[in-house]
Amino acid sequence: MPWEKSFDLDDAVDRAQFVFWSKGYEATSITDLTKSMGINKGSLYNAFGSKKDLFTRALLKYDRDNRQASIATLEAYENPHDAIETLFDGLIAQSLADDAYKGCFLVNTALDLPNHSDDIRDMVNAALDDFVKFFERMITKGQTQNVIPSCVEAHTTAKSLLSLVVGLRVLARGAYDEAGLRAIKQDALKLISEPKSLAN
């Protein structure tokens, strides 16, 4: 008799995602996953192939539901300067609401890249590069609207903004309080403001 799934795949991936996000890939066991997902080992392997395949699927879903969805919303903002500020405000709000200090699943994975396979590294690097491209588009658009100074170099500033996003996500896991996180946001806004604002 052919194997048939008797559970919701998206719900199972969400449950697995939470475990990987909380514990990390290496520390997560198959038992951790089956217990959280409410399925047995056979069902896990039949539905997802392997622990690595399940992790890949969980990370892709997280990226799609979080980073990609946020960027799509922010791209629609009329004022790109406001879009960048809103992004940092959103990250701060998420971080302050994260009582378990889980941080960002994508950033957590990026910090552990040497321990991952090439395909996971490629996936994470592509996501981070896409983030840089988003910032570049916002800066260029802002310059055409005269809300971001023409002297701002789009690519290098975009990479700096990404580094502040990553830093905020890491430091929010218990090292920085709200004031510290808001200071990171102000540093980000200085990068896309008139030079004279640096003295304020």
Residue-number span of the structural domain to which 171 is assigned: 56-199
Q: What are the tens digits of pLDDT across the range 150-160?
A: 999 999 999 99
Q: In the chain, which residues have pLDDT < 50?
A: 1-4, 197-200
pLDDT of residue 193: 93
Q: d(Cα 114, Cα 34) in Å, to the nearest integer?
A: 26
**Domains contained in the chain, number:** 1
111 CB-near residues (< 8 Å, 6+ apart): 170
Residues 152 and 191: beta-carbon distance below 8 Å: yes
164: in domain:
yes
183: in domain:
yes
- The CATH number linked to 68 is 1.10.357.10
Q: d(Cα 144, Cα 50) in Å, to the nearest integer?
A: 48
Q: Is the dihedral of CA 30, 60, 135, 74 positive or negative?
A: negative
pLDDT of residue 82: 97
50: in domain:
no
Structure token digits, residue 111:
């910090």
Structure token digits, residue 44:
């896990």
Residues 1 and 48: beta-carbon distance below 8 Å: no
12: in domain:
no
Q: What are the tens digits of pLDDT across the range 100-146?
A: 999 999 999 999 999 999 999 999 999 999 999 999 999 999 999 99
19: in domain:
no
pLDDT of residue 194: 80
182: in domain:
yes
pLDDT of residue 199: 44
Q: d(Cα 92, Cα 98) in Å, to the nearest integer?
A: 10
141: in domain:
yes
5: in domain:
no
